Each structure stands twice: as structure tokens, then as C-alpha cells.
């Protein structure tokens, strides 16, 4: 394939891609991504305060990079976008690593697979079948609480922010009374940029301040999980905490830092993401009473609703990779050590793959979205996420006759994990 001349994205597109606020008001961002897909699908982002990187915006190229795990690595540079100031602070704090937390997403082969295998079977459908009844109890309690509001609530605060948290905490073995702390720490870790979610509830934060909040949240997380690990080593139970605490690789126990990173990735990746897609599904249903009625009457449409909600919401909005060697993507030359952004929001709205991509269509098929990534790092919790959403909506559709929006939902201002942060609804209980 002929190599296109080096392509630098126009500055207004580059600055939107790195701006958390742009993800909060994402219609405009989606228009910019569309321009990039059509005109510069592998485009260099040169934005003030950020190390340059390539934005990969087409579905096909995102898949190619995601699946080529030998050529596109997770470890050398940060897997999440951050300003240079934050990257320098991270290096300082960690003594030279680009990653504040060491976890599956910051490892490459062969170490990555050794660690992934430790818990993989826990997250497979066969094992998850065994906890379906417990998840249903949690879902039922969430819908009970929603119905008890009498017909109006903020779905995010009332249901979707809490339900996946309860589930993942059950799986991890975190006691019920500690769940609010886990929720707070996750939001602080992922939502450092959003004034409604960061520790200081402040809008004008310097990168150093944002970083400090994230560091504090990680430290609190680590402190908490070290204690949990010590407890599970002393008295193992049937939970993921015990699997991680007692794990060995090549006969050696895993280090405290690696164990803490494992807990953090499962705890953190396991709920804000599913909260976002659950809220996204509700947003779409509240927007379209006919679709709600159709799915209520025919539950075989539920898997389609869930997959479309995950695509339409795209809770994880990007991950970064580092090129291991000189290569080419979409006709664009990439040099060894270049940093690449997998723009999942853009890939999930690529007209080359999805007809009328902004439209929410529960009957869309096939729905080959990239919201769970691809390749060896593909989301470990994807079966759990789908199952949680299915169970919640089964319960909800049994108990709710109709639903509508009672205000304008707001999306979180974050370049990384996003989705609705408010979703005011009115509903009629059955």
C-alpha cells in the first residue's frame, strides 16, 4: 500500500481529542472524529502539554493494532493519555515507571499471560453461571430501591453507579460496608479531571493537582487491598481476593505491588465501565418508548440492547499503545517508540462498519463494536459485564411499565472512562 505523507491533525481536532470536556459534550467530538476517519485516519496529535501521538480512528486500524500484540505494546509508555507534566510526576513517584498502578493492562508477553491466567477462569461464563443467582438478588434490590422512589430518580445515582459496584465487590470479597469507599476511590482515580468527581470538587485544577488526587486514591486503594490480601492469605475463601492473594507464578508468590495492582484493575475496571453502559442503555430506552415497549414484550431482543448500549456508550474511550518497531498502519509510517491512541469512540461510530452510527438500534446486527478492545488484552470482564446488564434489565423490564427522560443527561468530562454521570428519569412501575 502507498504511504501517505505524514499527517498532522488540525489543531482544533487535536485539542478536542486531549480535552476531557470535549468527551462530556461529545456530539462535536464525534463530528471531529468523523473528519479524522475520512481524511486522516492515522493522524498525528500535537497538542500543547502532551507528548505527540497518533490517533487511530478507523475501526479496521483499531482492530489491527489491538490484535498485533508483538508490535504494539502496553508496557513501555503509559496506556492512558495524560499531559507531560503528569507523566513526569508518575516517573518521579514510581522511580521510573510510566504506570502508577502495575496491572494486566500495563504488562506485555510473556508476563501478561501468566498474570491473566490467574483469574481468567473466574470470569468465564461457566463460573459466572454459579453466581447468577447472587447477582440477581443484587439486581432485584437495586430495582426495589428504584421503584421505592415512587416514579422519579436519577438513574445513575440510584441504580447504575451502585449495582455493578455491589457485584464486583461480591466477586472480590470486599465487605458490603466498604463499598462506598471503593466507589469513591474509583471515581477519584478515573474522574480526576471531572469537577463533580475529583477529590476537591474543583474545576480549575493544574495537572499536578489532578495527579495528586489520583495518586492519593491509588495509595488508599493499595493500603486497603494489602490488608485484604493479608487476611485472605491467613484464611482463604472462595473469592477472587483469595485467588490473587495466594497466587504463585513459577512457584513464587506474586509481589504485594502486583497483587494490589490486580485488585485495583478488577475493582476499578469492573464497575465504572458497566455503570456507564447500564446508564447508556437506560438513556436510550428513555429516549425511545417504542423500543422500550418492544423489548419489554420480547426479551429475545435483550442481548441486542446490551451490545448496542455498550457500543453507543463506549465506556472506555481510549487505550494507548507503543510501537515496538518501525511499521505502517493504514498507510501511515509509524516509528519505533511512537505512541498511539486507540480511539474506541471513533471506531464505534465508523460508518464503514455501522450504518447510521449515532442511532441506537437494539436490533443492530452484526454489532462488531470495539468497546471491549481486541487481542490478548481484550476485556477480561466482558462476559460478566454482559451478564450483569442482562440480569438488571430482566428485573427492570418486569417491574417498570414505561420510562421517559425527566431532564437532560450529562456525560462525564473524562478522556478515559466516560458515560452518563446524571440521567434524570420518570417511570411508571408495573
Binding site for ligand HEM (CB under 6 A): 66, 104-105, 116, 168, 265-266, 269-270, 273-274, 277, 310, 315-316, 319, 371-375, 377-381, 384-385
Closest-CA residue to 56 (of 348, 324, 325, 354)? 348
Which cell numbers hold the place of 108? 506485555
Residue 74 in contact with residue 112, Cβ under 8 Å?
yes
| DSSP result, 323-373 | ESSSEEETTEEE-TT-EEEEEHHHHTT-TTTSSSTTS--TT-SS----TT-
Phi, psi for 354 (deg, rounded to 5): -120, 120
Which cell numbers hold the place of 327? 511499521
d(CA 44, CA 55): 6
Give the torsion through C-alpha atoms of 11, 14, 18, 20, to 10 deg: 70
Closest-CA residue to 276 (of 17, 29, 24, 105)? 24
d(CA 26, CA 146): 28
Nearer Cβ to ligand HEM (277/413): 277
Which cell numbers hold the place of 8? 498532522
Please name the residues in contact with 252: beta carbons below 8 A apart, sequence gap of 6 or more. Answer: none
Helix (H) or strand (E) holding 241: helix 240-245
Nearer Cβ to ligand HEM (89/107): 107
Closest-CA residue to 31 (of 337, 250, 357, 323)? 357
Nearer Cβ to ligand HEM (207/339): 339
Nearer Cβ to ligand HEM (68/231): 68
DSSP label at residue 255:
P
Nearer Cβ to ligand HEM (114/404): 114
Q: Report, in Å, the least distance between residue 387 CB and ligand HEM.
A: 9
Nearer Cβ to ligand HEM (89/163): 163
Q: Report, in Å, the least distance between residue 384 CB and ligand HEM.
A: 4
Q: Report, in Å, the least distance between residue 225 CB and ligand HEM.
A: 14
Nearer Cβ to ligand HEM (168/286): 168
Residue 75 in contact with residue 106, Cβ under 8 Å?
yes
Nearer Cβ to ligand HEM (379/412): 379
Q: How far is CA 269 from CA 183, 253, 325, 389, in A?
A: 12, 24, 29, 15
Residue 323 in contact with residue 334, Cβ under 8 Å?
yes
Q: Report, in Å, the least distance between residue 273 CB and ligand HEM.
A: 3
CB atoms within 10 A of CB 300: 7
Please name the residues in contact with 151: beta carbons below 8 A apart, sequence gap of 6 or more. Answer: 426, 427, 428, 429
Nearer Cβ to ligand HEM (70/148): 70
Nearer Cβ to ligand HEM (56/89): 56
Nearer Cβ to ligand HEM (215/384): 384
d(CA 196, CA 347): 28
Q: Report, in Å, the least distance between residue 339 CB and ligand HEM.
A: 15
Which cell numbers hold the place of 56? 487511530
Amino acid at each position: 500500500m502507498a504511504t501517505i505523507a505524514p499527517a498532522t491533525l488540525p489543531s482544533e481536532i487535536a485539542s478536542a481529542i486531549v480535552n476531557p470536556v470535549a468527551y462530556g459534550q461529545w456530539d462535536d467530538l464525534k463530528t471531529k472524529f468523523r473528519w479524522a476517519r475520512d481524511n486522516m485516519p492515522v493522524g498525528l496529535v500535537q497538542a500543547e502539554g502532551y507528548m505527540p501521538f497518533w490517533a487511530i480512528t478507523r475501526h479496521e486500524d483499531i482492530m489491527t493494532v489491538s490484535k498485533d500484540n508483538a508490535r504494539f505494546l502496553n508496557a513501555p509508555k503509559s496506556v492512558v493519555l495524560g499531559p507531560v507534566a503528569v507523566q513526569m510526576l508518575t516517573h518521579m513517584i514510581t522511580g521510573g515507571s510510566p504506570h502508577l498502578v502495575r496491572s494486566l493492562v500495563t504488562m506485555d508477553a510473556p508476563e501478561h499471560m501468566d498474570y491473566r491466567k490467574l483469574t481468567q477462569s473466574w470470569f468465564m461464563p461457566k463460573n459466572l453461571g454459579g453466581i447468577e443467582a447472587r447477582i440477581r438478588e443484587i439486581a432485584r434490590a437495586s430495582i426495589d430501591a428504584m421503584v421505592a422512589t415512587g416514579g422519579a430518580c436519577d438513574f445513575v445515582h440510584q441504580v447504575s453507579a451502585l449495582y455493578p459496584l455491589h457485584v464486583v465487590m461480591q466477586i472480590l470479597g470486599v465487605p458490603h460496608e466498604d463499598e462506598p469507599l471503593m466507589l469513591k476511590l474509583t471515581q477519584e482515580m478515573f474522574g480526576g479531571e471531572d469537577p463533580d468527581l475529583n477529590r476537591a470538587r474543583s474545576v480549575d485544577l493544574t495537572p499536578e493537582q489532578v495527579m495528586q488526587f489520583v495518586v492519593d486514591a491509588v495509595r488508599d486503594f493499595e493500603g486497603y487491598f494489602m490488608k485484604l490480601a493479608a487476611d485472605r492469605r491467613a484464611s482463604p475463601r472462595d473469592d477472587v481476593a483469595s485467588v490473587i492473594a495466594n497466587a504463585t507464578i513459577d512457584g513464587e508468590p506474586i509481589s504485594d505491588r502486583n497483587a494490589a495492582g490486580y485488585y485495583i484493575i478488577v475493582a476499578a475496571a469492573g464497575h465504572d465501565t458497566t455503570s456507564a453502559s447500564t446508564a447508556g442503555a437506560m438513556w436510550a430506552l428513555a429516549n425511545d418508548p417504542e423500543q422500550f415497549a418492544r423489548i419489554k414484550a420480547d426479551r429475545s431482543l435483550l442481548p441486542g440492547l446490551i451490545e448496542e448500549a455498550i457500543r453507543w456508550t463506549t465506556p472506555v474511550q481510549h487505550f494507548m499503545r507503543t510501537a515496538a518497531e518501525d511499521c505502517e498502519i493504514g498507510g501511515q509510517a509509524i516509528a519505533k517508540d511512537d505512541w498511539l491512541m486507540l480511539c474506541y469512540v471513533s471506531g464505534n461510530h465508523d460508518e464503514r462498519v455501522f450504518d447510521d452510527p449515532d442511532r441506537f438500534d437494539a436490533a443492530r446486527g452484526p454489532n462488531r463494536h470495539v468497546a471491549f478492545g481486541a487481542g490478548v488484552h481484550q476485556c477480561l470482564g466482558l462476559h460478566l459485564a454482559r451478564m450483569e446488564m442482562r440480569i438488571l434489565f430482566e428485573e427492570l423490564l418486569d417491574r417498570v411499565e414505561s420510562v421517559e427522560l425527566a431532564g437532560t443527561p450529562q456525560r462525564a468530562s473524562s478522556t478515559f472512562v466516560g458515560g452518563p454521570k446524571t440521567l434524570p428519569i420518570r417511570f411508571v412501575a408495573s
